Structure 1
Amino acid sequence: MKKLFLLFLLALIGCSSTQLVSNWKNPDIVLFHAYKVLIVGMAPSEEARVAFESRMQKEFEKRGIESVRSLDLFDVEFTASAQSEEEILRVEQQLLDKDFDAILFNKVVGSQDKHTFRKKIKGINQLFQTFSDDYKGHQDIYYDEDYYDGFTVYHAETSLFCICVDKEMELIWRGAIDITDPTNMEKTINDYVKLVILAMEEQDLIFYKGSKNEVTGL
């Protein structure tokens, strides 16, 4: 039944500019509850980052789940240059100390059909099992002006990491999403957030199908 719903979800979103192209869930996880979530929208454009993190935060608020934007947690110096693994792990410990229990990590990783791509597309099909590895591997999105230019189809990923005591940031769920010819930032972000929520609801991750979704009406 769940596979049938996912196929329906793919067909439903297929006519949109934003499409779920792959969906992976940790086989050891059935349900995942979170009460305080850090939302990270990794993007070189601060405007896009603000818009995305704020839009996603509204959806958490509607469902009574506390969330914090990375904009309100990471200082300018942290995102302006490369951070070492030790520095990222220090941030992870700070999150644990502040009672966070999950990170929703969103990023654009590249483009399939861009011929003038200046950077090697890193890890499109790779599962980063810890937040520190995922962040470190893609952090130059923030500050490298030559990272990408003029995409036709953007490849984006949303990953959900658990912040667990005595464990590394464990990957709970990952969705790969393609965004085709985005011309309206607000619409693109709304479609992306809608798709992520639908996919996570179906997987019983933070969001659940018990209450009506105010975004989709489902």
Structure 2
Amino acid sequence: MNKLYIYLLAISGLLYSCSSSELVENWKNPDIDTFEAQKVLVIGITPDESARKVFEKKLATELKKSGVNAIRSLDYFESSFTTSPKTEKEMMALESQLIENGFDAILLSKVLGVEDKVTVVKAYRNLDKTFDSFRDDYYENQDIYYDEDYYEEYQIFHAESSLYCICPDKEKELIWKGSIDITEPENIKKAVSDYVKVLVWALKGQQLLIIEEHTNEDIDI
């Protein structure tokens, strides 16, 4: 871990202290240094379609500003795609179709509700659901689309974003996973805006999708 990374990590705490979203944990594949993609599919899994539209649009727009070719799932999937659960066979077919259409990465985000901060901390210490592929992650969490009461009882949301490689000539694997707290879920626009800022910042800091060159002077900060 170099001085620049430590510096940025410290500064980030100040930047996001007034934000409704906070990066609380992130994991990066130790075999991956940097990762660029030719075409990224942005997927938000939530039963609230309006929130999904706002989120996917905001995230795709921010990624495009950084030169990433990001496509919303709402612009790619047929409108009927999320109206019924998909089988594992259908997910395999979808993954093959995405590769045929030039996609080599998927940025999948989902929201998991928790009641209070203590529960959140416990959840992070007992994370046992890490998916090696986009197909498995989507398949295991797609029921979120259909549960209208999924978030009703919660005050703090625990969200998770995962970046998957679906490159045809490489292992289809998990590149990065980040856990983000949302403390003001009732204000959708603010929550989405803050979440996207934290997510894009995290990806940029890990040299994933958004690659920035650092000079020697930067590293010596």
Q: Please give the range of the TM-score, normalised by the shorter of the 2 chains.
A: 0.7 to 0.9
What is the percent sequence identity of the aligned residues?
48
Deviations 1:70-124 (A, max 9, x none): 011222332112111111111110110011111011110221439xxxxxxxx85
> In terms of mean alpha carbon deviation, does 174-183 or 61-70 score higher?
61-70
For 2:29, give the aligned amino acid: N
Give the Cα separation in 1 of the matches to 2:18 and 2:127.
23
What secondary structure, in the 3-state scheme, does the structure 2 residue paired with 1:6 have? helix
Match of 1:13 in 2: 16
Counterparts of 1:26-105 in structure 2 under 5 Å?
26-105=29-108
Deviations 1:141-200 (A, max 9, x none): 111223331321000001100111155531001100000132321111111111011111
SS of the aligned residue for 1:34 comes to coil
Q: Report the secondary structure of 1:64's partner residue.
A: coil
Name which of structure 1's ranges 180-189 and 195-204 shifts more when overlaid on structure 2: 180-189
Looking at structure 2, the residues matched to 107 and 96 of structure 1 have their Cα atoms a distance apart, in angstroms, of 22
Partner SS for 1:195: helix
Alignment length (residue pairs): 203
TM-score by length of 1: 0.85
- Following superposition of structure 1 onto structure 2, how do residues 48-197 of structure 1 map, counting pairs within 5 Å? 48-113=51-116, 124-167=127-170, 169-197=172-200
Q: Secondary structure at the match of 2:35?
A: coil
Q: How far has the Cα of 1:129 moved from its partner? A: 1.1
CA contact (8 A) 2:34 2:211 kept: no
Output the CA distance in 1 between the equivalents of 2:168 and 2:81: 24
CA RMSD for the aligned pairs? Answer: 2.1
Q: Any stretches of 5+ residues in structure 2 without a counterpart?
A: 118-125, 215-221
The DSSP-based 3-state class of the residue aligned with 1:208 is coil
Q: Which structure's relative contact order is higher, taking Cα pairs within 8 Å and 6+ residues apart?
A: 2
Q: Distance in 1 between matches of 2:184 and 2:70?
A: 30
Q: What residue ranges of structure 1 are gaps of 5+ in the alignment?
A: 115-122, 212-218
* Paired AA for residue 176 in structure 1: S
Counterpart CA distance in 1 for 2:165 and 2:114 is 28
SS of residue in 2 equivalent to 1:82: coil
More deviation, 26-35/9-18 = 9-18
Please point out which of 198, 202, 209 is paired with 1:206.
Answer: 209
